[in-house]
Amino acid sequence: MLLSETAESIKNMEIRGAGRIARAAVEALADYARSLDVSDPAVFRQEMKKAAGILIETRPTAVSLPNAVRSVIRALDEFESVEAAKKAVLSRAAEFIQRSEHAVERIAEIGARHISDGDILLTHCNSEAALGCILEAHRQGKDIEVYATEVRPRGQGLITIRTLNEAGIPTNYIVDSAVRHFINEVDMVFVGADAIAVNGAVVNKIGTAQIALAAHEARTNFIVAAETYKFAPRTILGELIEIEERDPAEVLPREVAEELPYVRVRNPAFDVTPADYIDLIVTEQGAIPPELAFTVIRDYLGWTIEEWR
């Protein structure tokens, strides 16, 4: 796939979910590097930076995207030849993809430990990290049942229930607004993340924060499954995570909206769940309370306050 095609597929959500987006972007960068026929290392660097910028701009919220892209194109000026720089890009890209896939497997193993026989779980949107935990618990023979939300407006819940059904897991499909109605039947909520701030706040699909609030009120455990590259280093500096607002036509058909000149449709794709409502974040390095987000950023993403003073 060409770089511009990957960028378009991420934008229109043919490729979606923070982990998949990160891997697709890194793959596109590797392909682009391979196809670049230049001899000047400075030109190579410039082209790679441009390509990285195009990919990063596709979806602003998923921090996994810039984290992944930067891990591939970092410090390219250390290389004196295009060949060496290209080699570095290709091996870093392959390493990222392998690490990312391995992380999802580790998260599934660690997350499944928190699920007991007989548990009823609730999940929102379609997260491979969160679903991985649920599928692994089922694979281990635990008798579980799942509530899966519809996920307006794009309906990612349909992908989730197809996967759960295929695995043979008894599943209840509910509209997003039915969460509080059912929350007392649920033992544990499992969701993924697009970004995690230094204060442990989690950015995930719109509606997640409302579910966390209902879970908090009902004293139901709320667990987030996320790779360490979903943590957002720049939040150390107080930078906020941008919440993507998508096309209103996803919510209301354009022809209907045109008849309602006083109505403005708002369509944020994500929301922020404060750390207070989160019991645990399961990463590939272990399960941590949200308060330890800074240590993940420091130890696994290599960012410290000192560096940025």
Known binding-site positions for substrate: 16-19, 59, 204-205, 230
Instruction: Tell whether residue 17 is a contact of ligand RUB (CB under 6 A).
Output: yes
Q: Is the peptide bond before 268 cis (omega within 30 degrees of 0)?
A: no
**Sheet containing strand 188-191, strands side by side:** 171-174, 145-149, 120-123, 188-191, 221-225, 280-283, 286-288
Query: Active site residue: 37, 77, 117, 125, which one?
Result: 125
By C-beta, is 29 or 196 nearer to ligand RUB? 196
Q: Which stretch binds ligand RUB (CB under 6 A): 40-48, 74-82, 170-178, 189-197?
A: 189-197
Of 31, 119, 143, 194, the catalytic one is: 194
CB 196 within 8 A of CB 231: yes
User: Residue 61: what residue type?
Assistant: T
Residues 6+ apart with CB under 8 A from 12: none
Q: Does 241 bind ligand RUB (CB under 6 A)?
A: no
- Indicate whether 19 belongs to the interface with ligand RUB (CB under 6 A): yes
Instruction: Please report, for residues 196, 275, 299, the alpha-carbon distance to residue 290 in angstroms, rounded to integers and kept in the order given.
Output: 9, 6, 15
240 or 263, CB closer to ligand RUB? 240
In the bound state, the residue with its beta carbon closest to ligand RUB is 192
Residues numbered 190 to 229 that lie near ligand RUB (CB under 6 A) are 192-194, 204-205
Question: Could you give the angle at which helices 128-139 and 18-35 cross, rounded to 10 degrees?
Answer: 120
Q: Does 127 bind ligand RUB (CB under 6 A)?
A: yes
Is 149 a binding residue for ligand RUB by CB under 6 A? The answer is no
125 an active-site residue?
yes
Looking at residues 262 to 291 of the shown chain, list those that interact with ligand RUB (rule: CB under 6 A).
269
How far is residue 101's CA from residue 287's CA, in Å, rounded to a whole number? Answer: 18
279 is catalytic: no
Pairing of strands 145-149, 171-174: parallel
Q: Is 18 in the site for ligand RUB (CB under 6 A)?
A: yes
The two tokens of residue 136 are 């692994």
* Contacting residues toward ligand RUB, per CB under 6 A: 16-20, 125, 127-129, 156, 192-194, 204-205, 269
Active site residues: 125, 194
